[in-house]
Amino acid sequence: MASLGSYSFRDPEGNTYSLEMDLDDAAMMEDAVSVAITGKKEYAVTKTTISVEFSVTLETSEKPKPWKIVIRHGDMVVGTIPLPEFGPPEDVAYDALPDEAWNHLSDLVDNPNALEHAIAAIPAGDPILGCLIKAAVSTSVGQILRCYKEHRESPDWRAVTRKVLRCLGAHSARMLMTAIWRTGKCAVLAGFG
């Protein structure tokens, strides 16, 4: 997998949290764009690690259109965002506060309850790990939407895929910084700062 970025930090109790955002090579081979998101927590005392995996994929089921963004928790689809062929797609702003970005994302998906249930099912109900995942998913959706909007007029759907992949690579630093900012804001607002 091609890395879009990763970071880690420790909470006051010494637990280590990490986030990895990668482009999925297997999806690229199938002419899809997929950001694999892995959030982890390593407990300071026991050194055990819990891991949570989500993916955000730009795909089309009927080549060359219609395009959609599919959010998965493991293999389970937890939300789909159909993308318009014409007119601007909705966006999740970079500067949106964590809850604002998440609420906007929840308004876009076809099944917001499934998305919320997937986040609520994070092991041990860990709010900081939930912040990590929410930040990475909302950031990935927002950047995929911006890249899609910029390149959707390409005549060939494979060209759209390649251009969106390049666009994500070009914006990977900003994606990581946005996810870090949203995670920090979310953790502080939840009382963990």
What's the pLDDT tens digit per position in 73-126? 888 888 888 876 655 555 666 666 667 777 777 777 776 677 777 776 666 568
| Residue among 81, 87, 72, 89 at smallest CA distance from 133 | 72
DSSP secondary structure of 111-166: -HHHHHHHHHTSGGG-HHHHHHHHHHHHHHHHHHHHHHHHHTT-SSHHHHHHHHHH
* Spatial CB neighbours of 86, under 8 Å, sequence gap ≥ 6: none
Question: Mean of the pLDDT values across residues 178-182?
Answer: 90
Between 63 and 126, the higher pLDDT residue = 126
How do residues 131-168 score in pLDDT, each as one tens digit? 888 889 988 988 988 888 888 887 777 888 889 999 99
Question: What per-residue confidence (pLDDT) applies to 99?
Answer: 73
Mean pLDDT of the chain: 82
Q: Which segments within 64-127 are labelled E, that is strand? A: 67-73, 76-82
Whole-prediction pTM value? 0.84
